[in-house]
Structure 1
C-alpha cells in the first residue's frame, strides 16, 4: 500500500489530491483495457481447442467447472442442474449469470457460439459498445416514466413512487439536488433538459474522464477524515477496505462488479 500511495502522489507532497487520484484512475482504466484485450486472446485460444474460431456454451461451462476443481470427464457429461457436480449455490448462481451475459454477447449470428470479439464482450462487457448500449437501454427503461423513449431532468431526479415519509424528506431532497447537479453537469451536455442516447452512451463509457472524476470525488468524500480535500497516508490506510474495491486498486474487479 505504501508503494502505491507514493506512486499516486506524483508531486511528492505526502498527500493525494483529487487530480492525482483522477489521473491515476484514468491510467489504470486504460491499462485494464489493454491487458484485457491481450488476455482475452490467450483464454479464447485455450478454450477453442479445435481451432474452429468459436467457443460453445458447453465448452465454456466445462472450463468453468474444471476451474472449480471438478473432474473434466464429469464436467463434460454434466449440466448446471446435475446434483453430482456438488457445486456451491454461489458458483451455481454465478454460472446462471454468465449464461445470461453469454446470450447478450452472442450476436452475429445468435448461434450459442462466441467468436473472439463476442467472447471479449462476454468477459469484459465494459469494453463492448453493444453491452454498453444495452446498459443505456436499461437506464432509459427504468427512468422513462411516460414511455416516450427520452429521459428528462425531472424523470432523472424523480423519487420512487409512493408517499415520502417525513423522516426521510431531507435526505430525499439532498439526493434529488445531487441527481440534478449530475444531470446538468455530466449528462445533458447540450443543456436542453433531456438526454439523447449519445449523451447516455458517453455517460456510461468507462473511458469517459468524467467517471474517473466521480470515482475520485467519492473516494475522497468517504475517507477524508479532516475534510481538507486531500488524502494523507493515514486516511488511506485506515480506510483500506474502501480502496480495495475501487478503481484505484482493483480496476478490473470494480468493472465486473458493476456489470
Structure 2
C-alpha cells in the first residue's frame, strides 16, 4: 500500500481587510501550525477549538455536553494560570496554545515513528521509510496506476535535508524535522523549494499571480469567483510581490509561507482575549472564559473518536 504521508496540504485562505496580509495557514505538511480549518467565527469556532486544545483533543471535546465541557475547561484554566494569580493573561494563553502545538507535533512523530522503525532499533533509515511508504510500488511498479518515482525522490531529498549527520539514518529529532520541516530553521530552503515546485506550473522559478491564485482556486464550469479571490489578488500585489515585478521569487515565497513577523499562537491568543475580555481589563477571569466556553472548546456532539476520555486528566 502506498502511504504518501508527506503530500502537501492545499492552502487554506481566510479573507481579510486590505490593511494587512490575509491570515493564512502554511502550505507545508498536512499538519499546519494551529489548524487546517478556515478561521471564520461567523460560521463556527472550530479553528479556535483546534488552536486552543490541539486537533485531537478538540475532536473529543465536541462529543461532550455543555456542562462537561465547562467542567473540563475550568480545569484547563487552572493549568493555564501559570503564576496562580487567578487571572489568565495573553502570555499565558499563548503559552498554552504553543503547548498544544508541540504536543500535536510530538504525538504525530511518535505515531509515525512506530510505523517506520521496523527493526525497533531506535532509528529510522531511509530504506525503512521508503519500504513502508512505497513498498507495493517498489515491488511491482508496472502494476501501479501512478508513477511514484517523483514523490519518492522528493521524500528522499527532504530526508537528506533533515539528516544532520548525512548517514541516511534519522534519530527522532531528525525524523521530526523530516515530518514537520516548517518547525525547523535548517529546513526552510526545502520548504520553499517544495512549495515553488507545487505552484510554479511554467517552471520559470517564480510564482506569478495566475499560479498563486490557481493554487487556491480553480473554478468549475460557470462557477463565479468568490470575493476572497479578489482580496488575494490585492494581497499578492501589495504584500506578496514585494519588489513589484509581478511574481514571487524564493525570498518572497519564504516570507509568504513562513513569515518571520507573524506568530500564529500570539495572533490566536489576542483574538481569544479580545472576544472574551468583557470588562476590557486586558486579562481573563475564569468566569469570562467559561462564559465563552463555546469559543474556547465548544460542545457539538459528533461521531468523532474518543481521544480525550482520559479520566486521569479530567
Query: Relative contact order: is structure 1 or structure 2 higher (C-alpha 8 Å, sep ≥ 6)?
Result: 2
Q: Same fold (TM over 0.5)?
A: no
Using structure 1 for the length normalisation, give the TM-score: 0.44
Q: Whose helix fraction is larger, Structure 1's or Structure 2's?
A: 1
